[in-house]
Every structure is written in C-alpha cells, then in structure tokens.
C-alpha cells in the first residue's frame, strides 16, 4: 500500500513531467492565464528567441488590470497612453501567438480569476498559473494554482512547464458553522490574522472543515484568493458535489462521457486519512466575527467590535510597523473601529466581485441610501456577472442606493486604471490588499466583506453588519 | 543572465517588516512593456515626494547609500503581488543581493531569474548585518555565493543556505528556458500520456 497522500501531493504527483535527483521538477501546466500587465515582456522574449507558445489551446488571455470601468469605455479608446499600449500589446500578442482571448469588447471579459472559472477553463485537479499572485483563487476547485513572475510566464508559454520544488503541506481547518453576518471573506481574513502574512511561506494550504464545506464555490474562491496574503504558494479546497455542480455545463468543461471520466478522477482528489501535514491551524467557525483591517498589512485584522491596537502590544519589528501603519492610516490608539469614518466604498475585485458577493451587498442596501457625500462603486468581476446582476435586479438596488454601476475590471483593487483614492481618502474595500498606496497615493484602505462594505456605505463609518441585519429583520 | 559569483559592496539597512511589492515598485510603473529602466522608481513613494523631489531621510537617498548593492531588510520582504517589476527595479538600481529573515515565495523565485541573490538568515544574524549596514559607505559587506557566506566589514562570517540548483543557475548565469528545452522529450512524453489519461484537459 502506498503512503497516505494529501490533496496537494496527489495533484503534484499527477503533473511531474521530469524530476532531477535533487527534487527539482518540471511541473506540467494545464492552464495558463495571461493578462496585459505581466505578459508583454514574456511575449517579447519569445519573439526575440524565435519561440512559439507551446500550447496556445491551454492559454487564456484577458485584459483586466488597466481597463477603464466607466460606461463610456465601449465607445472609446483608453485615455491613458501607457494603459492603452499595454492592452493593445495583449491584443496583438494574443492574435500573433494564437491563444484564447477575451478582448475588452467581449461580454465575457472580466478579471482573469473570475473569467477562468466562469468559462470552465479551471477544473479540479489541474495546475493553473498566471502572472498574478491572486491565481490562488482557482484552488477553490481543488486545482493547484499560483502566481508566477514574468520570466516564468515566458517559461510556461515556451515549455508549458514550470521549474519547481515541492512546498510543504499546511492544513487550515474551520470547524463548525459560521454565525449570521459572517462570510468567506471574514474566514480568510481571520486566518491571516491568526497566521500572519508570512505564516504560510513555504506551504500550500488545504482549507477544510465544516465551515469550508458549507461554502458555495464563490465563497471558496474568496477564501483561496487570499491564501497568498497569508504567504502560501497556493490554497486548495478538495472538490465535492458543490464543485462538480458548478463546473458542469460550463463552456470549456468536459461534456458527456468525458465529463463522467473526469468526474471519476476528480472524486479521488481528497486528502487520504492519516496523510501528513507539516503545520495545522484550526479555527472555530462559531468564534469568527465580521472583521476589518485597521493597518497596512492584511494581517492587521480585528473583529469589528475591537479598537485600534497599541503598537506596544506587538513584538519585534511589528512594533515599528504598527506605529507606521497607525500614522499612515490616520488613526488613534484605542479608537473604536466602528468610529472610523469612511468616504469611499469599493465593491469588486477577484476576491469579492462574483454574483454572490453582489447579492450579499445588495441584501444590505435594499431600500437604503448611501451616506451623503459618499463615493461608492460596484465593479462586477466580469461582464457575465454584471449581466446576471442586472437580470436579478441587483443593479437597480445599487443604483437606487447611490452606487455607481461599473463595467468589469480590476479597478480600485490596485488602482492601475483611473479608479483611485486621492490623498487621505478612506475606503471600505472588498479587495485583498491594504498596503500603503495600494488604492492610490496616500489612500487608506480597510478590507471588509461585501456586506460590511455595504453597511459602511450607508452609515458612513465602519459598521457591524449584524446590527443592520437585525434592523432589516 | 549575468553571473553572480562574489559581491563586495555597500549594504543598506531597511529594518521595516513586510516591505511589500507596492512599496518596492508602485503600480503606476507597471505600465511599461519593457524590463529596463525601473531603478529610478525603486521604492518610489518612500523615496520621492509628490513633486518628485528626493526625501533626504530615505536610506537610499543618503550620500553614503547611493551605491548600495546589498539590502538588509526586515521580515517577509517582497510580500504582495507577483510583479517581476520589483526585482527588475532592484536590479536596475544596482542591488544584487537582499538579506532578510524571510521572503515572499513569488518574489524569492523572481529574484533568481534576474541575477539577484535573496539570502534568508536567522533573526540574530540579520540583527548583526543590519548593524554593519548602518556603517554605510565606510564599510563593505562580502557575499560569496560559491562559499555560501556573508562577511561583515569586521570580518565576521555567517553561512547561508541556498537551493543547489538555483545556486548553480545563478553562478553560471543560466537561462531557464534553455535548460528546460533540453527536456523537451520528457514534456512530449508527458503530454502524450495525459492525452490518454486526462483527455479533457
């Protein structure tokens, strides 16, 4: 009998095309997602060396980081010269090298990590890479998915493999049930709050436990998306009926007998009883509260009921980092988090730009108005998410509440397009990073769930969404 | 790729923990379609004010650190995005080695693709090297990849670990794609097997 394996072990073993004596492997890549920011130099490298894309049929390109999300983009050219050049370079490269492509004009265009699953490119047991750290998102399907740099993008384009050494196995278990008002975003932030942003360095995380099993695919993608913020190479969730149901019928998912054959293999993708994990973290689902970040690192997480912490309560280099963060964020030690005033709300990103996220936010906003002077925007993760939200009447709820209803893209998550914070502006954001300057020079970001973002839009300050849920009930 | 052998240079101290890729190279500079020329924007928001004037307090703006080749940094250096613009900017500035207690995974890998050696050292060693780096241009630190040692200006030497294959590639300045192309038959064979076993892929 072979030794018990983790889910990660199984996917890894199924993709080793060559192994050196020292354990360095050529890992075969099943899906390569490409966007406009990290790919131009890679395509140029191929061109210079006279190389082709080895597997264009397994390569999927979509512009997302730079694209404007305002409604006038359909009619126009991208105003920012450099952004326009990058998007045009992707257009040109996609055509020249013959890869699958969703241009800005295509209704299926959107954030690469939302388009991949939506179109059925991402399937259980696959290896998926992209020149983007949030590739971890696809781990929700039980696919080994992680971000790579541009040199590696070129390597995958040319060889369909990556030079890799295996990471260690880490298990993050969320036991029990979540309480009302607590979401996948709160889980993933709470885990980072527990482990720190370097806690996952050197590991691939498998998320498991009842609270994870109970999540929809959308929620699972939110959890895995931020595995990178915990420092992990990838996050994984074993595929189950929820996964198979989501995948079935998607444009690029297998059909008929092939689906049955795939399903038979997918059902073997779980961690065997007794398999070894190098590190284990367990949180109780019932004890997770709606959380927010107060500082400039995703590990600066606290329950919404808490206060801004004293830097001295930390250890080592984190003391100075916390001082710097509190100053940057313009906060007072001991200030209640619910007293922090907000002027901007951003709902979107590969973390929380899916239909379920928009439903959660709309449920809070129904029949309400955003606070006077608040700038609030919803940027759906893809054109198809947008269309569905319009069909379900969510778009009307957002618009009536005073939100801007935008076109799909990465938008204010990283502010490479015109959607940015100005100096000193403070945003409740459903995105994934609260780094200094992330959403705009000297902008201040508080990471929250979509429901919490909606609540803050209404009250004008960080708010415990559970208070508003009782109000609605 | 340029070979990395032995480096003798000025080390700069950046004790802040969690220096992320947005700090190393803000997104406004990711719009380039080239790899070169990013050094001037390394640590842009910490290094310049809004008018583009240098902030004198920032370490790399100080006269004694203008020719820095080694960075001694706080924990979890390079966390955040996969942007290879971060190591491109570091290399373009002239920094060839970064020393910390830990690095984010993608950044760590990206360094090796660009002739930069990231070195992980325990906290107590980083503390010693940080102190040495505070001496600025009065001191030179020596990084010897072949011997796997870092030596302070006082001659105190510390060993470090590095993956043997990554070391080999850095010492020889090898191109990954060229190396992998030597295994093209293995890739062909793998694809042929998978076409049978998992035809839906």
Last residue of a domain, one of A218, A253, A287: A287
Q: Do A185 and A146 belong to one domain?
A: no
pLDDT of amino acid A225: 98
Helices A355-365 and A450-459 meet at what angle, rounded to 10? Answer: 30
Per-residue pLDDT at A2: 82
Strand, helix or coil for residue B141: strand
- pLDDT of B2 reads 81
Domain identity same for A385 and A281 = no
Q: Which chain B residues are closer than 8 Å to A441 by Cβ?
A: 26, 45, 50
Pairwise CB contact (< 8 Å): A151 & B17: no
Q: Do the domain assignments include residue A66?
A: yes
Q: Is B2 exposed, middle or buried (0-12, 13-18, 19+ CB in 10 A)?
A: exposed
* A203-240 residue pLDDT tens: 999 999 999 999 999 999 999 999 999 999 999 999 99
Do A11 and A150 belong together in one domain?
yes
> Out of A135, A146, A416, whose CB is closest to B30?
A416
Helix, strand, or coil here: B142? Answer: strand
| A282 and A345 housed in the same domain | no
Residue B78 lies in a domain: yes
When divided into structural domains, chain B yields a total of: 1
Look at residue A27 and give its three-state secondary structure.
strand
Residue A471 confidence (pLDDT) = 57
Residue of B nearest to A418 (CA): B28
Residue B196 lies in a domain: no
Q: How confident is the model at residue A262 (pLDDT cuts 50, 70, 90)?
A: very high
Task: Spell out which residues of chain B touch residue A409, defining contact as CB-CB under 8 Å.
Answer: none
- Interchain contact, A321 vs B17, CB within 8 Å: yes
Determine contact, residues B72/B11, Cβ cutoff 8 Å. yes
How many domains does chain A fold into?
3
Span A30-50, pLDDT tens digits? 999 999 999 999 999 999 999
Minimal Cβ distance to B165: which of A20, A132, A231: A20
Q: What is the ipTM of this complex?
A: 0.94
DSSP structure string for A111-165: -HHHHHHHTT---TT-EEEESSGGGGGGGGGT-EEEE--HHHHHHHHHHSEEEE-
What pLDDT sits at residue A349?
98
Dihedral of alpha carbons A386, A388, A391, A395, sign: negative
Size of interface A-B (CB pairs under 8 A): 189
Q: Say if residue A267's pLDDT is above 90.
A: yes
Residue A111, domain CATH: 3.30.499.10
Between chains, do A149 and B26 touch, taking CB under 8 Å as contact? no
Largest separation between any pair of C-alpha atoms in chain B: 64
User: CA A80 to CA B25: how far, in whole Å?
Assistant: 19
Task: Report yes or no on A245 lying in a domain.
Answer: no
How far is the alpha carbon of A229 from chain B, nearest alpha carbon, in Å? 7
Asked whether the beta carbons of residue B104 and residue A83 sit closer than 8 angstroms, the reply is no
Extract the tokens encoding B70: 């080694």
Domain containing residue B157: CATH number: 3.20.19.10
CATH of the domain at A205: 3.40.1060.10
Check CB contact of A443 with chain B, cutoff 8 Å: no
- If asked whether residues A347 and A468 sit together in one domain, one would say yes
* In-domain check, residue A425: yes
Domain that holds residue A388: 292-472
The answer, yes or no, to whether residue B188 has pLDDT greater than 80, is yes
- Whether the CB of A91 is below 8 Å from some CB of chain B: the reply is no
Q: Identify the band that residue A286 occupies on the pLDDT scale cut at 50, 70 and 90.
A: very high
**Which of A133, A262, A420 should one mutate to test binding to chain B, selecting the residue with the greatest count of B CBs within 10 A?**
A133
Does A110 lie in the same domain as A229?
A: no
A85 part of a folded domain: yes
- A162-211 residue pLDDT tens: 999 999 999 999 999 999 999 999 999 999 999 999 999 999 999 999 99
Any domain includes B188? no
Nearest to A18 among B114, B183, B198 (CB): B183
Question: How do strand B141-144 and strand B149-151 relate by DSSP bridges?
Answer: antiparallel
3-state secondary structure of B8: strand
Domain membership of residue B59 (yes or no) is yes
Q: Does A320 touch chain B (CB under 8 A)?
A: yes
Phi, psi of A111 (to 5 degrees): -70, 130
Q: pLDDT tens-digit profile of B38-60?
A: 999 999 999 999 999 999 999 99
User: Would you call A201 an interface residue with chain B, using a CB distance cutoff of 8 Å?
Assistant: yes
Kindly report the nearest CA distance between residue B186 and chain A, in angstroms. Answer: 6
Closest residue by Cα to residue B16 from A134, A282, A327, A71? A327
> Is A374 in the same domain as A437?
yes
Q: Say how many Å lie between the first and final Cα of chain A, rounded.
A: 56
* pLDDT confidence bin for A75, thresholds 50/70/90: low
Tokens of A197: 């942003």
* Confidence category of residue A76, pLDDT binned at 50, 70, 90: low
| B160, part of any domain | yes
CA distance B117 to chain A (A): 16
Residues 267-306 of A with CB under 8 A from B: 297, 299
What's residue B175's pLDDT? 86
Residue where one domain finishes, among candidates A138, A165, A192: A165
pLDDT for res A322: 98
Q: Are residues A296 and A282 in the same domain?
A: no
Q: Do A26 and B187 touch (CB under 8 A)?
A: yes
Indicate the DSSP class of residue A413: G
Q: What is the mean pLDDT of residues B21-45?
A: 95
Q: Quick one: B200 exposed, middle or buried, by C-beta within 10 A (0-12, 13-18, 19+)?
A: middle
Q: A344 and A275: one domain?
A: no
Contact B80 A435 (CB under 8 A): yes
* Residues A328 and A223 grouped into a single domain: no
Q: Are residues A333 and A387 in the same domain?
A: yes
Residues A311 and A374 sit within 8 Å (Cβ to Cβ) = no
Predicted confidence at residue A170, as pLDDT, reads 98
3-class DSSP state for residue A217? Answer: helix
Residue A343 — φ and ψ, nearest 5°?
Answer: -115, -10
Q: Give the per-residue pLDDT at A78.
A: 79
Binned at pLDDT 50, 70 and 90, residue B137 comes out as confident
- Cβ of A38 within 8 Å of Cβ of B84? The answer is yes
Residue B120 domain boundaries = 6-173
**Per the domain annotation, does B189 fall within a domain?**
no
**Considering only CA atoms, which of B37, B94, B99, B98 is closest in space to residue B67?**
B94
Neighbour tally for A257: CB within 10 Å: 8
Global pTM?
A: 0.96
Same domain? For A226 and A130 the reply is: no
Q: pLDDT of B98-115, one tens digit each?
A: 999 999 999 999 999 999
Calculate how close chain B gets to A364, using CA atoms only, in Å.
31
Q: Which of A127, A147, A165 is the C-terminal boundary of a domain? A: A165
Q: Which residues, in sequence order, are bridge partners of residue A208?
A: A173
């Amino acid at each position: 009998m072979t030794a018990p394996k983790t889910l990660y072990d199984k996917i890894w073993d199924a993709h080793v095309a060559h192994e050196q004596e020292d354990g360095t492997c050529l890992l075969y890549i099943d899906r390569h997602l490409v966007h406009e920011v990290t790919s131009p130099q890679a395509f140029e490298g191929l061109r210079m060396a006279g190389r082709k894309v080895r597997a264009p049929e397994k390569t999927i390109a979509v512009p997302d980081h730079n694209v404007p999300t305002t409604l006038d983009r359909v009619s126009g050219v991208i105003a920012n010269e450099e952004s326009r050049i990058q998007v045009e370079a992707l257009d040109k490269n996609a055509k020249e090298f013959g890869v699958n492509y969703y241009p800005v004009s295509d209704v299926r265009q959107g954030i690469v990590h939302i388009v991949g699953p939506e179109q059925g490119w991402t399937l259980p047991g696959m290896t998926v890479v992209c020149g983007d750290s949030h590739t971890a998102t696809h781990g929700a399907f039980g696919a080994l998915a992680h971000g790579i740099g541009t040199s590696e993008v070129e390597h995958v384009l040319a060889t369909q493999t990556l030079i890799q050494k295996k990471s260690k196995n880490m298990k993050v278990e969320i036991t029990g049930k979540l309480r009302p008002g607590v979401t996948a975003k709160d889980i993933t932030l709470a885990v980072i709050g527990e482990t720190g942003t370097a806690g996952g360095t050197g590991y691939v995380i498998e998320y498991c436990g009842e609270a994870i099993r109970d999540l929809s695919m959308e929620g699972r993608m939110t959890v895995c998306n931020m595995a990178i913020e915990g420092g992990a190479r990838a996050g994984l969730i074993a595929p189950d009926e929820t996964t198979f149901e989501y995948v079935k019928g998607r444009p690029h998912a297998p059909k008929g007998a092939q689906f049955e054959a795939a399903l038979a293999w997918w059902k073997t993708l779980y961690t065997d009883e007794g398999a070894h994990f190098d590190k284990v973290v367990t949180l109780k689902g019932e004890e997770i509260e709606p959380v927010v970040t107060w500082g400039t690192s995703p590990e600066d997480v606290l329950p919404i009921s808490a206060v801004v912490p004293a830097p001295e309560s930390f250890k080592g280099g984190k003391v100075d980092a916390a001082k710097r963060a509190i100053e940057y964020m313009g906060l007072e030690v001991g200030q209640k988090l619910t007293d922090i005033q907000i002027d901007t709300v951003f709902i979107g990103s590969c973390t929380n730009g899916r239909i379920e996220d928009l439903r959660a936010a709309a449920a809070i906003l129904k029949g309400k108005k955003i606070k006077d002077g608040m700038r609030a925007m919803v940027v759906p993760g893809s054109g198809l998410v947008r269309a569905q939200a319009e069909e379900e009447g969510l778009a009307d709820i957002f618009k009536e509440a005073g939100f801007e209803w935008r076109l799909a893209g990465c938008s204010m998550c990283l502010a490479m397009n015109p959607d940015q914070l100005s100096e000193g502006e403070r945003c409740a954001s459903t995105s994934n990073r609260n780094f200094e300057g992330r959403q705009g020079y000297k902008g201040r970001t508080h990471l929250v769930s979509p429901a919490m973002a909606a609540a803050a839009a209404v009250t004008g300050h960080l708010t415990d969404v559970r208070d508003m849920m009782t109000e609605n009930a | 790729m340029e070979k990395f052998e032995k480096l003798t240079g000025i080390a700069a101290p950046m004790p802040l923990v969690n220096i992320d890729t947005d700090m190393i190279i803000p997104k406004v500079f990711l719009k380039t379609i080239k790899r070169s020329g990013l050094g001037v924007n390394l640590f842009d928001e910490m290094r310049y004010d809004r008018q583009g004037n240098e902030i004198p307090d920032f370490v790399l703006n100080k006269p004694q650190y203008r020719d820095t080749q080694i960075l001694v940094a706080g924990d979890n250096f390079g966390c955040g995005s996969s942007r290879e613009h971060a190591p491109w900017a570091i290399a373009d500035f002239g920094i060839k080695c970064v020393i910390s207690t830990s690095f984010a995974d993608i950044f760590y890998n990206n360094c090796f693709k660009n002739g930069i050696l990231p070195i992980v050292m325990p906290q107590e060693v980083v503390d010693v090297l940080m102190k040495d780096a505070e001496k600025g241009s009065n001191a030179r630190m020596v990084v010897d990849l072949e011997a796997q040692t870092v030596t302070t200006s006082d001659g105190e030497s510390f060993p470090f670990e590095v993956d043997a294959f990554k070391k080999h590639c850095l010492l020889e300045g090898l191109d990954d794609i060229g190396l992998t192309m030597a295994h093209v038959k293995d890739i062909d064979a793998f694809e042929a097997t998978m076409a049978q076993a998992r035809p839906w892929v």
